[in-house]
């Protein structure tokens, strides 16, 4: 049996360290709206995850996760897409790391359209085409593919946590699909 020294630059925080950091600093996240496109690059379907929310209720959400220390935005985006959609999703990452929106989540409702009771977080949001088979993993219960019109509906927005319905509508607007 060999004894391993922990990697001092792993980029991960323990649960206690994360809780402490969340009380003192805004954290950087990436969020992704997975889409399917036709041959002309027009969005024809939007993927929305269903998962158990932080309050124990089932809610719709987007692919989302923290950027680790030393990790590029592109690597973080790919890691979270693979984690939530499975290794065969084959995401087509954007050529530019410029997001369609920067969403700022606050632990107090009403400060912005975005709310996260755990922390102050800044999320860079991207629309990412996927070409493969999506098999939700981790804490996602399922991935629902919807038309852009269905995804933009008030019903879907109401089912989304933390204001992500507004973020989804902004994603659709950024690709010319919000009427």
Give 85-115 pLDDT, tens digit per residue.
Answer: 999 999 999 888 899 999 999 999 899 999 9
Q: What pLDDT, on a 0 to 100 scale, did the predictor assign at position 19? A: 78
- In percent, the amount of the chain with pLDDT more than 90 equals 71
- pLDDT < 70 regions, the chain: 1-11, 53-54, 179
CA-based torsion, 37, 83, 71, 174: positive or negative: positive
Q: What pLDDT, on a 0 to 100 scale, did the predictor assign at position 179? A: 62
Q: What pLDDT, on a 0 to 100 scale, did the predictor assign at position 1? A: 45
Domains identified in the chain and CATH numbers: 25-174 (3.90.79.10)
| This prediction's pTM | 0.87
Q: What pLDDT, on a 0 to 100 scale, did the predictor assign at position 54? A: 65
The C-alpha atoms of residue 39 and residue 93 are separated, in whole angstroms, by 17
């Amino acid at each position: 049996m060999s004894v391993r020294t922990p990697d001092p630059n792993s980029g991960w925080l323990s649960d206690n360290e994360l809780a402490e950091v969340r009380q003192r600093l805004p954290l950087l996240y990436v969020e992704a709206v997975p889409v399917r496109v036709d041959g002309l690059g027009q969005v024809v379907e939007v993927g929305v995850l269903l998962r158990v929310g932080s309050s124990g209720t089932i809610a719709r959400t987007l692919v989302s996760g923290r950027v680790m220390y030393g990790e590029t935005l592109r690597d973080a985006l790919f890691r979270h897409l693979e984690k939530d959609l499975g290794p065969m999703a084959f995401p087509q990452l954007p050529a530019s790391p410029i997001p369609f929106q920067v969403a700022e989540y606050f632990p107090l409702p009403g400060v912005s359209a975005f709310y996260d009771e755990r922390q102050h977080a800044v999320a860079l949001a991207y629309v990412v085409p996927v070409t493969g088979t999506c098999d939700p993993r981790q804490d996602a219960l399922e991935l629902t593919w919807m038309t852009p019109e269905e995804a933009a509906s008030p019903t879907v927005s109401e089912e989304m946590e933390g204001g992500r319905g507004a973020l989804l509508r902004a994603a659709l607007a950024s690709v010319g699909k919000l009427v």
